[in-house]
Structure 1
Amino acid sequence: MFKQKWTMVGVAALLLLVIAGCGDKPTAAPANGVKQDTTNVVSGAGESTPAPSDDQETEVASTPQPTADNTNAETQPSSKPVENETQKQRQSIEVYYTDSQIMDLVPAKTTINYSDDVEKYTETFKALQSSENTDLVPLWGKIELKSLKFVEGQIVMDIHKPDEAQLGAGGESFAITSLAKTYFQFAEVKSIEVLVDGEKVESLMGHVDLLHPMTRDNS
């Protein structure tokens, strides 16, 4: 009887050892030798948050930072000087026209702007070609100024006279006189040489002698 009890105690102890051994069974390794993914971090709310990768860290570190040279290029004003435009002189002059009946010469005031002598006398010729007063008729309106030079007190102008610019004897005389009076108001002008298409001609329109050159005395 006593021997039977010990036998049952031994069986029971053996069962306890077997049960305890099953509770300590090691976790099985992943199939096919695949490494367990540890990149997800479990947050306190139970959601998984991906851990930062090496690629993200490299991308942030490679972001270019503004350099001192770039900053200076944007903020520093250009040191290149700005060229000032040539200041033109302004002068009031007297220009000679005729009346609608070509009976007399009539002076009128106008203003010219110029930067040098050549432009001064060119602008004066333009004033002889047009009139702001409809009652005054320009005698040089249809004549083209091809070129103009000013050398040692002499104006040399080359003109072209089309057929429609032709005037009678009175008109031609007034045209030459208006040219002389208008230009000789400038003290520095000593003489005027008028060429027609580059040539010296005896008469501008065939009625009055054209002097070469015209001076204050002979005009």
Structure 2
Amino acid sequence: MNKKWTYAGISALLLLVIAGCGDKPAAAPADNAGQDSTTVVNGAGSTAKSTNGGSEDAIATATAQPTAEPATPSPAATEQPTAPDKKSLNISVYFTDPQQMELVPAKADISYANDVEKYSEAYKALQSSTNPDQIPLWGKIELKSLKFADGQITMDIHKPDEAQLGAGGEAFAISALAETLFQFKEVKSIEVLVDGEKVESLMGHVDLEHPMTRENSGL
């Protein structure tokens, strides 16, 4: 009888232990069990996660492209100003003979674009001659500047010592200048300055009028 109670107690204890084991909760499955998780690093360095229920989609990796520099426009070509058309003119110029006895007329061709250039070129024609019988009287005298306004030519000259002439040569020089420049009808007067100054005499022998006109030049 005692053995039966002993076996019965042991059986009841075993049932309680088995029952306790049957109530133990099963381990929870992982949150992502059965799912395919793919981690991709994009071109900017961040991480992207793709979950697609077991099917795997390809994820393109963005590659940073260099920024193209804007093209620098080429500078526009600068148009060169068109040179004005020049006119040609055959004029009279005046020299002296080798003995400085008289004025000797001659002809010269000049080209010019305006009045100032016309008178400057006429003066240059007075300074040289290819004829040995025609001696220039202004060859060594530098024309520093020439202006023309209101019918008057204003010319500034520089006379070096080697350009000095005697009384006869000085008189011929002034006459040669007047004859040459007064052939242009628009010229009413000529003001001659020496290094920017009005002088009484060009070379110390003959009075120099300020300004010279056709009347006081005997033309």
What is the TM-score with the length of structure 1 in the denominator?
0.62
Equivalent position of 2:112 in the other structure: 114
Q: 1:88 to 1:174 in 2, by over 3 A?
A: same
Counterpart residue identity of residue 129, structure 2: S
How big is each residue's C-alpha offset from its partner over 1:131-162, in whole Å with a ceiling of 9 and x where there is no partner?
Answer: 12121000000000000000110000000000
Equivalent position of 1:92 in the other structure: 90
Q: 1:141 to 1:81 in 2, by over 3 A?
A: closer
Counterpart residue identity of residue 131, structure 1: S
CA–CA distance in 2 between the matches of 1:146 and 1:166? 18
Q: 1:83 to 1:167 in 2, by over 3 A?
A: closer
Q: Which runs of 4+ in 1 moved over 2 A?
A: 80-85
Q: Identity percentage over the alignment?
A: 71
Spell out the pairing of 1:58-73 with structure 2 (5 A cutoff). none
Q: How many residues align?
A: 142
| Residue of 164, 167, 170 corresponding to 1:169 | 167
| Residue of 109, 121, 125 corresponding to 1:127 | 125
SS in 2 for 1:179: helix
Equivalent position of 1:194 in the other structure: 192
Counterpart residue identity of residue 95, structure 1: V
SS in 1 for 2:191: strand
Q: 1:87 to 1:99 in 2, by over 3 A?
A: same
Equivalent position of 2:215 in the other structure: 217
Counterpart residue identity of residue 155, structure 1: I
Counterpart residue identity of residue 116, structure 2: V
| RMSD (CA atoms) | 1.8
SS in 2 for 1:113: strand
Equivalent position of 1:68 in the other structure: none
CA–CA distance in 2 between the matches of 1:160 and 1:132? 24
Equivalent position of 1:60 in the other structure: none
Equivalent position of 2:150 in the other structure: 152
Runs (5+) with no aligned partner, structure 1? 1-79
Equivalent position of 1:17 in the other structure: none
CA–CA distance in 1 between the matches of 2:81 and 2:207? 49
User: Which has the higher Rg, Structure 1 or Structure 2?
Assistant: 2
CA–CA distance in 2 between the matches of 1:84 and 1:191? 33
SS in 2 for 1:122: helix
CA–CA distance in 2 between the matches of 1:153 and 1:137? 29
Runs (5+) with no aligned partner, structure 2? 1-77
What is the TM-score with the length of structure 2 in the denominator?
0.62
Q: 1:136 to 1:84 in 2, by over 3 A?
A: same
How big is each residue's C-alpha offset from its partner over 1:154-175, in whole Å with a ceiling of 9 and x where there is no partner?
Answer: 0000000000000000000000
SS in 1 for 2:109: strand
Equivalent position of 2:11 in the other structure: none
CA–CA distance in 1 between the matches of 2:115 and 2:174? 21
SS in 2 for 1:137: coil
Equivalent position of 1:203 in the other structure: 201
SS in 1 for 2:122: helix
CA–CA distance in 2 between the matches of 1:198 and 1:160? 9
CA–CA distance in 2 between the matches of 1:125 and 1:162? 17
The alpha-carbon deviation at position 85 of structure 1 amounts to: 3.2
CA–CA distance in 2 between the matches of 1:204 and 1:186? 23
